[in-house]
Amino acid sequence: MKKLYITRTAPNPRKALILLASKGIDVDDMDDIDVVDIDFAAKEQMSEAFTKINPMQTVPVLTLDDGTVLNDSQAVCEYLDRVYGERSVMGNDVVQRAQVCSMRRIAEFEVLYNLMLAFQHSHPSKAQRVEQVPEFVAPSIARAVKALAYFETSLEGHDYLVGDQLSFADIVLYLGLDFGKALKVDPTAHGENLAQFYARMHERFSIKKMAKAKPTEANE
């Protein structure tokens, strides 16, 4: 059985969950993948058992039946995209694939990554993980916000960043916007196109919307 290690509230594992959901697949209903929830509050990502699986102590991780370990969200998502569902969210032809790649990397490195950096350098829960430099926080947020103007323009007259259908670039941009809320960056305050894009994506893929139905004593 394959195993997918995730934390459902964290942006990088959410990429995998949203990718599958966008193809109509509920990760908890997959016949050949067991989901393993990693609890950050309990520091499970730092445990000896998980460190053996991924020495980087990060999620997501996908382990395959032959023992292959994929320990990066891009790799996990490339695999899931090719193996499950009918259409590719990475792009359906060579040019579209390249366009999705380009948009995804800008969303990742300019928006999501800078916001994650700001979080890591400011949030007490990350003090054990990185040597926190408070001076990094404001410039990292400012850099992410500056890049949003590019996406506001790109979305003019379009629902999605590439072509007329949802791609992995949209998923990463949405996660950047959603994560920004933890740093008081309002996803609806950087242009009308982005605000509408965020509202559409949030309606489908918010953490609340995708929360696993917790079994209760009554329905166990």
- Which stretches of the chain bind ligand GSH, using CB under 6 A? 10-12, 45, 57-59, 72-73, 126, 129
Question: In terms of CB distance, is 115 or 147 closer to ligand GSH?
Answer: 115
Least CB distance to ligand GSH at residue 108 (A): 8
Question: In terms of CB distance, is 100 or 155 closer to ligand GSH?
Answer: 100
Least CB distance to ligand GSH at residue 4 (A): 12
Question: In terms of CB distance, is 47 or 188 closer to ligand GSH?
Answer: 47
CA atoms within 13 A on the CB side of 17: 26
Least CB distance to ligand GSH at residue 153 (A): 26
* Contact in structure between 91 and 167 (CB atoms under 8 Å): yes
- Of the candidates 155, 121, 157, the one whose C-alpha atom is nearest the C-alpha of residue 174 is 155
58 to each of 52, 61, 215, how far by Cα in Å?
Answer: 12, 8, 27
Reported as type and span, the H/E element at residue 194 is helix 192-205
Question: In terms of CB distance, is 59 or 148 closer to ligand GSH?
Answer: 59
Least CB distance to ligand GSH at residue 9 (A): 9
Judged on CB neighbours under 10 Å (0-12, 13-18, 19+), 84 is middle
